[in-house]
Amino acid sequence: MFSLKGKSVLVTGAGDASGIGFAAARALKELGAEVFITSTSDRIYKRADELGVKGFIAD
């Protein structure tokens, strides 16, 4: 497996826990990336807490 340590990644559409954006964010975090996630709803904050990353609402 390769490492993304030292890399920053922005994942959009990560507000749905069963969606591809959330799954991608989780995988990227496991590979060592610093992950930032966005969604159009405030549920992004719960997803961010679950992953231990920073979440932002995108208007």
pLDDT value, residue 4: 98
* Per-domain residue ranges of the chain: 8-57
Q: Are 15 and 41 in contact (CB under 8 A)?
A: yes
Mean pLDDT of 22-49: 97
Residues, the chain = 59
Mean pLDDT of 20-48: 97
| Residue 48 confidence (pLDDT) above 80 | yes
pLDDT value, residue 59: 84
Going by C-alpha positions, the residue among 5, 1, 2 that lies closest to residue 33 is 5
| Residue 1 confidence (pLDDT) above 90 | no
- Which pTM was predicted? 0.91
pLDDT value, residue 5: 98
